[in-house]
């Protein structure tokens, strides 16, 4: 990927993370915003929105780092197991392990009521549902059925590792952030896994155009000297 296309790719990822987190915070943390509006403190309300945009952008940076780490891991996995089929089975096993870990070691210790389980269950549905939808979209875009498992792995395992910062906490108000931080991570990771081929193709096209311009300038210079 060329630097220009990487900047575009990163910029849109940042924007998506910030906007998604801001919208999610308006729903999940409305009790935080409502007093500002009730008291007519518009500047405080806007400051809170901006803070959540920055928080979403921070999650986006984490998601981008996780994405490029995954690209390396995927290539290493294929090279080590020397079979995409075997690597896919390994990824499926890791998906199951991560989901079990989330339920038993992350959700269960903090779930004291049925309401807590309903919230955690909803978040798990969001995570797995987004992974499935993204994987199906990826197959339609690439016409390659084998990308199903790798996309699911990225959306479930890598997103969960990025999400673990919130899941590991047990301080006050942690459930709010457990819910809030999932949405920008899912949105940014879905964007990255779906849009990377577009930016790679655009980079290849840009390189060809650049090479053609260099060739044309060289021929023009040669003709002028002649």
Q: pLDDT of 16-37, one tens digit each?
A: 999 999 999 999 888 888 888 8
pLDDT in tens, 97-135: 999 998 998 888 777 788 888 988 999 999 999 999 999
Reported as type and span, the H/E element at residue 190 is helix 174-225
Total-model pTM: 0.88
- Decide if pLDDT at 209 tops 80: no
Structure tokens belonging to residue 87: 């690597």
Residue partners of 179: CB distance under 8 A and separation at least 6: 28, 119, 123
By C-alpha distance, which of 74, 60, 64 is closest to 151?
74
Asked if residues 198 and 143 have their Cβ atoms less than 8 Å apart, the reply is: no
Task: State the sign of the Cα–Cα–Cα–Cα dihedral 198, 199, 204, 209.
Answer: positive
Out of 41-45, 156-160, 175-179, give the one with best mean pLDDT. Answer: 156-160
By C-alpha distance, which of 46, 68, 33 is closest to 188?
68
């Amino acid at each position: 990927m060329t630097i220009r296309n990487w900047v575009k790719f990163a910029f849109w990822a940042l924007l998506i993370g910030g906007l998604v987190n801001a919208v999610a915070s308006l729903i999940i943390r409305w009790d935080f915003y409502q007093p500002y509006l009730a008291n007519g403190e518009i500047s405080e309300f806007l400051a809170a929105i901006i803070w959540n945009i920055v928080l979403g952008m921070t999650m986006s940076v984490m998601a981008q780092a996780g994405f490029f780490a995954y690209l390396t891991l995927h290539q290493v996995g294929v090279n080590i197991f020397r079979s995409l089929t075997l690597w896919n089975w390994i990824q499926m096993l890791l998906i199951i392990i991560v989901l079990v870990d989330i339920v038993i070691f992350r959700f269960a210790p903090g779930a004291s009521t049925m309401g807590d389980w309903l919230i955690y269950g909803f978040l798990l549905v969001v995570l797995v549902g987004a992974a499935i939808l993204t994987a199906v979209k990826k197959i339609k875009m690439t016409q390659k059925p084998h990308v199903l498992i790798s996309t699911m792995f990225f959306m479930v395992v890598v997103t969960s590792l990025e999400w673990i910062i919130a899941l590991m906490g047990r301080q006050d108000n942690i459930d709010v952030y457990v819910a809030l931080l999932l949405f920008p991570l899912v949105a940014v990771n879905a964007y990255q896994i779906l849009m990377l081929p577009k930016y790679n193709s655009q980079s290849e096209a840009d390189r060809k155009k650049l090479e053609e311009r260099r060739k044309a300038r060289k021929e023009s210079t040669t003709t002028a000297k002649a």
